[in-house]
Chain A
Amino acid sequence: MQILKKALPKAALIFLIFTLLCGVVYTAVVTGLSRLLFPHQANGSIIEVDGKQYGCELLGQQYTDDAHLWGRIMKLDVSTYVDEDGKRLLYAAPSNLSPASEEYEALVAERVEKLRAANPDRDTSAVPVDLITGSGSGLDPHISPAAAEYQVPRIAKASGRTQDEVRQIIEKCTEGRFLGLFGEETVHVLKVNLMLDGILTA
């Protein structure tokens, strides 16, 4: 009991000091420096062209238009967030499904069928795995180069471009590995689509 009585005020005081130091000072210093050094990144990497916003560079969206590049499978969430006027906002979540169940097998079969129907030029080749799986965040903004190449004939037909033009756009939006080693090669789906729509210059 004696130890307890003595230690309690000391513990409370040191807790207060650390709350100020780690909660307030540390957070404020990082916020201040980030805003100064990296204003674009620290504020969410939002794409702006001529003062108009076109999506967030880091968040995936859902595309179903034949003339657009499609991304990962998304489990959309339209009930968690609303804007000030109560209008629904789009967000997404991961599926958390086991890839070893019978239900999953049926789900993938359905997705493969749908993709093949939408890409008749590719109906004999295997579907790249990125196009029939959900991502970890549910908001993956990328697909693999293989998944982009699979869609080239469809996009070319629907957008009235040659396949080479579409490939050029995809290549422009492809990012290599960090230092050529870490992570994977990715195609940025939103940027490809903004270029296909002529909003970003190809």
Chain B
Amino acid sequence: MNAVIQYILYLGILILLAIPLGGYIKKVMAGEKTFLSRILTPCENAVYKVMHIDSGEQMNWKKYAVSVLIFSGIGLVFLFLLQLLQGVLPGNPQGLPGVKWDLSLNTAISFITNTNWQAYSGESTLSYLTQALGLTVQNFVSAATGIAVLFALIRGFVKVKTDGLGSFWVDITRIVIHILIPLNLVIALALAGGGVIQNLKGGQTVPLLEPVAVNAEGEIIENAVIDVETNTVTVFGKAVEDADIVTEQFVPMGPAASQVAIKQSGTNGGGYMGVNSAHPLENPNAFTNLIEMISLLLIPAALCFTFGRCVKNKRQGVALFMAMFLCLVVALGCVAVREQIATPQLIQDGAVDVSAVDQAGGNMEGKETRFGIAASSTWAVYTTAASNGSVNSMHDSFTPLGGMVPMLLMQLGEVIFGGTGCGLYGMLAFAILTVFIAGLMVGRTPEFLGKKIEPYEMKWATLVCLATPIAILVGSGIAAVFPGIEASLNNAGAHGFSEILYAFSSAGGNNGSAFAGFNGNTVFLNLSLGLVMLFVRFLPIVGTLAIAGSLARKKLVAVSAGTLSTQNPMFVFLLIFIVLLVGALSFFPSLALGPIAEFLSSIG
């Protein structure tokens, strides 16, 4: 019963916060006054002054696109070099060496594309300087880039007979200064108060209550009797030669809270720690978990309402929100039920107690006690619906069908809320597809928000919608037959294939979560996943801007009796149907080979 209340509250709080934030974002982007303007507008103007930016500049779509690409390109080069050189740079109290070239390139691509795939493990690979100056910065600007592109598209709908889509420089400056920085200061301080570390000290050590014995090969000695005073280890009365006694535990340190805040709210997802928000120093309790989980879906949900206000049609925003929300609720229901039921392999004919009495129960493999099933399932669905990719439990250890749902959410193209900005412009491409198909059925020229949808928009919208399936299927297809791929797998059989499919779905959705047993840190995987991430990030950006440019040049068509309404439940249903149709048709065969095959064999 408590679990059900938790699910309802997680969804309810999200809606309650998203609506006012949606209004605030609209005001900021329109240059209107907000309650923070008095402090922040002078900062914004100072940036324009230093930069010699004309805040009234209007870029055409090509100039806007080129600006996005160059800005991302500079970020890529900077982050790549920063990692290679971190060994000789300051801000490295752990004394970590430079990162290998292929891993650096993969991580740089992953952060500029708002993916945050983790082939690296934060606390053992990256220096504090790299984390703060590299990753944190990209967390901010890659999120801002997505929102900026969305606003270019919004202007395409609103403006009439013009080329100008606004200025990319003005857009990202406003987004970072008025939205992301204030929001994240609040989140980061709440997290630090809740127990997330935030300091600049090197890693600490603390004594263990029970020392651990290790043999010469570095393996743990079972049943060891340890005498720390005399430094001897015995097993069943026999002394073990060359045994090493471990008496201290490593406690990672560093500026985590500041980065965790933006990795959640910017739908980035790259953890400060290797195990992401499952780590108790990154997400210590239910309070920090609530904040992190809500903030990961907050901006994408708010943007639906922003969209409605901007196009002066609030019902359109609500319709888009409902289409996404309904999918989210169904997905959440599926995962919650599957994880609570657990698997026959875990239950052992009743020898293991998975009931929800005095414990969370269910499939607790890979889940933290403090989060249990409810908070873990909700997070898994939120993080893959949004293209966030942070985790608070290990998706690799989910039940076969419980793990399939997050995979499917990514394969749908990250349009169930999706990333900041990119989720909504992806969904709008599907909406364009929907009005076109619906228009064909009733024999009318398709229109959306008063703009005629013609072959030019359709071609680009199709590319935007198909970028993800193409990248995932081609990528995972090649990887599955690549020699030596089995060395990267942590599980055998159908689940092993699921690990590959999940990795490419994650890269192909710019998500970044993983079936984390999978070792993605090989040259082939670093490069192939890197290419996939670039393709699915920038092809849709260019496509969206092209559509925006074309729409802005058109005149508004008056609404008539023959216009197909895009705000009623019928349209919501059609939109969901088209999204599922593209996703299901593309991915059913591969899902049948992975999670569905595993499920059937586990109950057989």
Chain A interface residues toward B at CB < 8 A: 3-4, 7-8, 10-15, 17-19, 21-24, 26-27, 29-31, 33-35, 37-38, 41-47, 53-56, 58-65, 68, 72, 76, 78-81, 83, 87-91, 93-105, 108-109, 112, 125-130, 132-147, 149, 177-178, 181-186, 190, 193-194, 197
Contacts and interface: CB of A to CB of B under 8 A. Distances in A.
Given A88-B214, A96-B515, A27 B397 contact: no
B209 A55 contact: yes
Interface string B384-422: 000000011110111110000000000000000000000
Given A99-B365, A101-B491, A31 B258 contact: yes
17 contacts: A10-B53, A31-B199, A41-B195, A41-B197, A46-B204, A53-B206, A89-B249, A95-B394, A95-B517, A96-B516, A97-B491, A99-B397, A100-B602, A136-B371, A140-B370, A182-B6, A183-B370
A34 B257 contact: yes
Nearest to B603: A100
A112 B342 contact: no
Given A19-B133, A181-B9, A184-B372, A98 B67 contact: no
A97 B365 contact: yes
B345 A178 contact: no
A90 B352 contact: no
B285 interface: yes
B66 A94 contact: no
B113 to A, nearest CB: 16
B275 A136 contact: yes
B63 interface: yes
Contacts of A37: 189, 192-193
Interface stretch (B136-144, B477-485, B555-563): B136-144
A141 B137 CA distance: 32
Interface string B201-229: 10111111110101000101000000000
B559 to A, nearest CB: 37
Contacts of B287: 178, 182
A144 B366 contact: no
Contacts of B334: none
Contact of B495 (A33, A35, A101, A135): A101
Interface stretch (B98-106, B147-155, B353-361, B546-554): B353-361
A98 B494 CA distance: 10
A185 B358 CA distance: 8
Closest A-B pairs by Cβ, 4 of them? A183-B286, A96-B517, A144-B359, A136-B278
Given A14-B173, A42-B198, A96-B515, A142 B370 contact: yes
B128 to A, nearest CB: 9
B501 interface: no
- Indicate the size class of the contact surface on chain B: 35 or more
Most buried by A among B75, B189, B275, B344: B275
Interface of B: 2, 5-6, 9, 47, 50-51, 53, 62-63, 66-67, 70-71, 74-75, 78, 124, 132-134, 136-137, 139-141, 169, 172-173, 176-177, 180-181, 184-185, 188-189, 192-201, 203-210, 212, 214, 218, 220, 244, 246, 248-251, 253, 255, 257-259, 261-262, 273-275, 278-281, 284-287, 289-290, 342-346, 348, 350-354, 357-372, 374-376, 391-394, 396-400, 490-493, 495, 515-517, 598-599, 601-602
B341 to A, nearest CB: 11
Given A31-B258, A135-B367, A44 B197 contact: yes
Contacts of A132: 352
A185 B394 CA distance: 20
Given A42-B197, A146-B357, A89 B205 contact: yes
Contact of A146 (B66, B67, B345, B358): B358
B121 to A, nearest CB: 8
A102 B493 CA distance: 11
A26 B290 contact: no
A128 B132 contact: no
A187 to B, nearest CB: 8
A99 B399 contact: yes
A78 B51 contact: no
B516 A186 contact: no
B189 A30 contact: yes
Given A94-B275, A130-B369, A89 B394 contact: no
A7 B69 CA distance: 10
A178 B177 CA distance: 32
Given A34-B257, A76-B212, A80-B124, A45 B516 contact: no
Contacts of B188: 30, 34
A46 B400 CA distance: 38
B358 A144 contact: yes
A23 B184 CA distance: 13
